Chains A and B, each alone.
Chain A
Amino acid sequence: MQLPSSQEIIDDLAFFDDWEQRYQYIIDLGKALPGLPEEERTADRLVKGCQSQVWMVARSKDGKLLFDVDSDAVIVQGLLALVLAAYNDKTPVQILDFDIDAYFEELDLERHITPTRGNGLRAIVAKINGLARNAVH
C-alpha cells in the first residue's frame, strides 16, 4: 500500500470538521496498513504496552530506513500509519530532523502519543529515532 505523505495526512485530517470523520480516517488507515505476517510478530520485535501491543521490523535500503509495523488494536495501527508517513523510507538525518511532537500537535492527536498512554506509540518513535542515531554514527 502506498501511504500518504505526512503533509497529505495533515491536509486530509484538516479537511474533516468532526471527530468521527477524523477517527474513521485513522481507523481506515489502520485497516489499510498491511501489518506483519504472524511469523514476524515475534517477541524480539514486540513493543509491549499494557493496553495494546506493537511489533516493528526495520531494515535499510539505499541509505534509507524502512519500517513494517503491526498492532493488535486498529486505532493504534492507524496512528502507526501516521508515524510511518513521517519516518518510512527516509534517511536517518531526515528522521532525526523531523519534529514528531509538532506533527502530532498539528494533527490534533498529541494526546494519543504522550508517554503516559500505554499503547506503545511513544516507544516506537523512540526506537525509530534510536535506529536513525545509530545509522548516523
Chain B
Amino acid sequence: MSLNISALREQFPILKTQIDGKPLVYLDNAATTQKPQVVIDALVEYYSTYNANVHRGSHYLSDEATRRYENARTSVANFINAAVKEEVIWTSGTTESLNIIAHGLMQQLGTGDQVVITEMEHHANLVTWQQACIKAGAKLVVIPINEAGELDLRAYESALNSATKLVAFPHVSNALGTINPIEELTLMAKNVGALVSIDGAQGIAHGGVDVQAIGCDFYSFSGHKLFGPTGIGCLWGRKAVLEDWPVWQTGGEMIADVEYQSTTFGALPNRLEAGTPNISGAIGMAAAIDWFADLDQQAVQTHEKALLARAIELAADMPGMRLIGTATNKVGIMSFLLEGTHPADIGFILDRQGIAIRTGDNCAQPLMKRLKIPGTARASFSIYNTIEEVEAFFIALKKAQTMLA
C-alpha cells in the first residue's frame, strides 16, 4: 500500500492557504506540523459536547471527559509500547517533560557526578541539564559530533563511567536531521548504570518508537510536532524509576491525603500531574496519534525518504549550496547555507513566494558555534509534502540566489 498524498492533503485545511496569491508550501514541519481535520474536530467536539473537569466523577459530563481523557493516555501508551499506561505523564510539551526529569535529577546529583549530553542538542535538552549540573555542582560532559553531524560513538563510550548519573541525547537532531542510534547509545549507558533520557521531539513523528525495545528510562515528546495541538506533550518514564521520582509541581490532583502541615502524594500518573490538566490537548493529541498510527508506516517512511532524496539531488545541482548535516541516517530535515547570502534573506524571499522555512540558530546556539556558522536556513518535510513542493522550493531558492547576487 502506498500513501495517497492528495487525499492526505485534503485532510489538512490549512494546506489550502494562499500567501500573497501563491499556494502555501509549508516546509517548517520540524518547528510544528499542521493538523488534520480529525484533530480539529476532536477539540471542537470536546468543548461542544462534553467539557467538564476530570477525576471528579459526580456527573455525566465529568465521567465522559474522564473516560476520554484516560483513553487518550492509553492511545499514547500503545503508540510507544509503554508497559503500563501509568508510565505516560501529560506535560505541556517536551520542554516541560525534560524539566521534570532535570528537576528530579538535581536532587540526586552531587559533586563528582556527571551528566552526559551531545553537541547536537536543542536548547531544551541542554540548558535543563546544564542548570541542574550547576546547582548540584556536577559536571556536564558534551560528546562531540563529526563533520557530517553524527555522534562520535568512541568519545561517547569513553566518556561513560560510574560517575555518569544520566545520559541525555536527541532521538533526531532538530538542526541536522541526524537519527541517532538510540538503542546502541542506551545500551552503552546502561552498562555503566546511568539513567537514559531521550529527547523525542523530532523523533516521534518519524514512527516506530518502542520504549521497551529502546530500553531507555525516559522518552519525551510534544503533541504539536505529531499533528496534534500545541501545549500538550508527554513524559514517558519507566515505572520503577518514575514512581519514586521527586514530585514536580504540587497542588490538586497529585495528592492522596492532605493535612495542614503535611501531604501524602498520590500514585502514578497523578503524582506528577498537579492541577487541572490540559484535557482538550490530551484528547486532541490522542486523536492525532490514532490518525497517524492508522497510516501505513512503511509508506510514510518511503515517502519521507523520497522527499529528502529529491531535495538532496536538487541541492547537488545548486551552485554554492552547502548542506549542514549530512548524516547517512537522517530524516527529512535540510539545513543549508547558500554562498554569499544570509539565511534571513533567503527566508524573506521564500516567504514572499509562499514558502515557509525556518531561518536562524535553530534553538541550538552552541551547535552553530561548534559548526562555526551564524545559523542556517532549514527546510523540513512532512508526510503531506509533495515532490512538486520540493521542486518549487528549489525554484524559489534559485530566484532568491539571483536576486541577492
Chain A residues within CB distance 8 Å of chain B: 19-20, 23-24, 27, 50-53, 72-76, 112, 118-119
Contacts and interface: CB of A to CB of B under 8 A. Distances in A.
Contacts of A20: 399, 403
B344 to A, nearest CB: 4
B404 interface: yes
A53 B344 CA distance: 10
Given A27-B404, A51-B375, A74 B360 contact: no
A72 B348 contact: no
Interface string B252-268: 00000000000000000
B344 A119 contact: yes
A118 B343 CA distance: 13
Contact of A51 (B349, B352, B360): B360
Interface in B1-43: 20
A73 B352 contact: no
A57 B361 CA distance: 25
Given A23-B352, A27-B403, A50-B375, 14 more contacts: A20-B399, A23-B348, A27-B345, A50-B360, A51-B343, A51-B347, A51-B360, A51-B375, A52-B342, A73-B342, A75-B349, A76-B345, A112-B348, A118-B360
Interface string B138-159: 0000000000000000000000
Contacts of A118: 360
B348 A75 contact: yes
Nearest to A50: B360
B345 A74 contact: yes
- Please indicate which of the listed interface residues B345, B375, B403 has the most CB atoms of chain A within 10 Å of its own CB: B345
B359 interface: yes
A64 B94 CA distance: 50
B374 interface: yes
Nearest to B349: A23
Interface of B: 20, 341-345, 347-349, 352, 359-361, 374-375, 399, 403-404
A19 B344 contact: no
A52 B375 CA distance: 9
A75 B344 CA distance: 8
A24 B403 contact: yes
Nearest to B348: A75
A74 B404 contact: yes
A23 B403 contact: yes
14 contacts: A19-B20, A23-B349, A23-B352, A23-B403, A27-B345, A51-B344, A51-B347, A51-B359, A51-B375, A52-B344, A73-B342, A73-B345, A75-B349, A112-B348
Nearest to A30: B345
Contacts of A76: 344-345
A53 B154 CA distance: 37
A112 B359 CA distance: 14
- Please indicate which of the listed interface residues B20, B348, B352, B404 has the most CB atoms of chain A within 10 Å of its own CB: B348
A50 B348 contact: no
A131 B229 CA distance: 42
B342 A74 contact: yes
A72 B404 contact: no
A16 to B, nearest CB: 13
Contacts of A53: 374
- Please indicate which of the listed interface residues A24, A51, A52, A72 has the most CB atoms of chain B within 10 Å of its own CB: A51
B336 to A, nearest CB: 15
A115 B359 CA distance: 16
B345 A50 contact: no
A121 B206 CA distance: 37
Nearest to A31: B404
A23 B346 CA distance: 12
Contacts of A23: 348-349, 352, 403
Contacts of B352: 19, 23
Q: Which 7 A-B pairs have the closest CB atoms?
A: A52-B344, A73-B342, A73-B344, A51-B360, A51-B344, A50-B360, A75-B348
Contacts of B404: 27, 74
Contacts of A51: 343-344, 347, 359-360, 375
B358 to A, nearest CB: 9
Contacts of B343: 51, 73
Contacts of A72: 342, 344, 374
Contacts of A73: 342-345
A78 to B, nearest CB: 9
Contacts of B347: 51
Contacts of A112: 348
A42 B374 CA distance: 16
Contacts of B374: 53, 72
Given A27-B403, A27-B404, A118-B360, A75 B345 contact: yes
A27 B349 CA distance: 11
Contacts of A27: 345, 403-404
Nearest to A119: B344
Contacts of B344: 51-52, 72-73, 75-76, 119
